[in-house]
Amino acid sequence: MKSHRQELWFETPTRRAFLNITPQVAAAIRASGVREGLCLVNAMHISASVFINDDESGLHADYERWLEKLAPEKPHSAYDHNRTGEDNADAHLKRQLMGREVVVAITGGELDFGPWEQIFYGEFDGRRKKRVLVKIIGE
């Protein structure tokens, strides 16, 4: 069995962003040489997320409104976590809602997706470098 590990690094200019990282993950699979196996993709930071959905701008806007309704950024004083001197409690909660990781099957050397599926990096406290781990195992 083969194993391949790769890090992807992102630094968004905004506090929140959704980035389609499917091409980078597909490139990692090609680099791994794995034809049949599994690909784990996970955010290595507690205020970012990796998830699968459609690459459609209206859906991304809906996510933004939905997440802001469930875990509003302000007022910062509404969160106990922010009493530590930080202002990102909402980002931790948004990450919890959107998830830490995805696992996708690899078939014939490619991501084995359903219709419209793409892999996204969700940033909820940006403007600094963060990483995503891609771990591939298989034959």
60-72, pLDDT tens digit by residue? 999 999 999 999 9
What's residue 65's pLDDT? 98
In a domain, 85, yes or no: no
Decide if 83 is inside a domain: no
Return the bridge partners of 43, or none.
132
pLDDT value for 106: 98
* pLDDT of amino acid 103: 98
Residue-number span of the structural domain to which 21 is assigned:
2-55+93-138
82 falls within a domain: no
CA angle 99, 44, 138 (to 5 degrees): 85
| HEC-encoded secondary structure of the chain | CEEEEEEEEECCCCCCEEEECHHHHHHHHHHHCCCEEEEEEEECCCCEEEEEECCCHHHHHHHHHHHHHHCCCCCHHHCHHHHHCCCCHHHHHHHHHHCCEEEEEEECCEECCCCCCEEEEEECCCCCCEEEEEEEEEC
Tally of domains in the chain: 1
Looking at residues 1-5, what average pLDDT do you find? Answer: 97
- How high is the mean pLDDT of the chain? 98
Does residue 88 belong to any structural domain of this protein?
no
Provide mean pLDDT across the span 10-35.
98
CATH of the domain at 20: 2.60.120.460
Q: What is the pLDDT of residues 82-132, one digit of tens each?
A: 999 999 999 999 999 999 999 999 999 999 999 999 999 999 999 999 999
Does residue 99 lie in a domain region?
yes
Share above pLDDT 70 across residues of the chain, in percent, rounded to a whole number: 100
